[in-house]
């Protein structure tokens, strides 16, 4: 764990070499995230959900809604890369999305999205061949990605935002 509240598990390392075992670990993270995020927010009240995980950061509620938004986008990006040749995906302003009124809704709405998206995403991931994981996409801001490394990013993203919540709970004694 890191002392940096913004990056409690450290920054993503894009220079990773994705081995077969690491790939299996990434898939397990995607499979387990719905339970991990549900456990992280279990029994939090509205005041706690509306607490920023760090000064000038998102609230726990915004983090949960962000994970739903982000992983829904990632799932679609995977499907694009599996059905098109090296598609250029669309970037979006996640900070602006976090300010939209749907982020004030109960977190169960986004927990349900995360459950469904991860169930479908896991089904696709577990059916992909090594060749499928070498397929590529282009992110307009960060360049070319293979799907195995892109999955590594979402392994990190899952753990990163779960840690935002769990480390806040530890600091607050919740």
pLDDT band for 1, please (50, 70, 90 cuts): low
pLDDT reading at 32 higher than 80: yes
Residues sharing a CB contact under 8 Å with residue 138, sequence separation 6 or more, in sequence order: 86, 87, 88, 89, 144, 145
Residues 15-21: what's their mean pLDDT? 95
Question: Residue 104 above 80 pLDDT?
Answer: yes
Tell me the average pLDDT across 60-84: 98
pLDDT band (50, 70, 90) for residue 3 = confident
pLDDT band at 62 (very low <50, low <70, confident <90, very high): very high
Q: Provide, rounded to the nearest whole percent, the portion of the chain with pLDDT above 90.
A: 98
Residue 65 CA: distances (Å) to CA of 100, 111, 117: 10, 8, 13
CATH-assigned architecture of domain 20-172 = Up-down Bundle (1.20)
Among candidate residues 51, 67, 68, the one with its CA nearest the CA of residue 59: 51
Segment 34-53 shows an average pLDDT of: 98
- Report, as an integer, the average pLDDT of 134-153: 97
pLDDT of 161 above 70 = yes
pLDDT for position 99: 95
**Mean pLDDT value across residues 157-168:** 98
**Distance (Å, rounded) from C-alpha 27 to C-alpha 122?**
7
Residue 137 pairs in a beta bridge with 145
Q: Is the pLDDT of residue 33 over 90?
A: yes
What distance in Å separates the CA atoms of residue 123 and residue 120, rounded to the nearest whole number?
Answer: 5
Assess whether pLDDT exceeds 70 at residue 89: yes
Domain residue spans of the chain: 20-172
pLDDT at 117: 98
Contact 72, 64 (CB under 8 A): no
Q: Which of 89, 83, 78 is nearest to 140 (CA)?
A: 89
């Amino acid at each position: 764990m890191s002392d940096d509240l913004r990056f409690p598990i450290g920054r993503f390392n894009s220079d990773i070499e994705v081995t077969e075992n690491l790939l299996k670990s990434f898939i397990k993270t995607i499979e387990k995230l719905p339970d991990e995020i549900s456990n992280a927010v279990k029994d939090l009240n509205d005041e706690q959900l509306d607490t920023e995980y760090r000064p000038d950061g998102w609230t726990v509620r915004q983090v949960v809604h962000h994970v739903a938004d982000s992983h829904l986008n990632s799932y679609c990006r995977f499907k694009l890369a599996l059905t098109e040749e090296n598609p250029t995906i669309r970037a979006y302003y996640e900070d602006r999305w976090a300010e939209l009124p749907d982020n004030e809704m109960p977190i169960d709405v986004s927990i349900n999205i995360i459950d469904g998206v991860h169930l479908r995403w896991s089904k696709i991931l577990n059916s992909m061949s090594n060749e499928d994981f070498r397929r590529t996409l282009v992110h307009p801001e960060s360049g070319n990605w293979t799907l195995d490394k892109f999955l590594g990013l979402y392994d990190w993203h899952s753990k990163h935002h779960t840690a935002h919540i769990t480390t806040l709970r530890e600091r607050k004694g919740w």
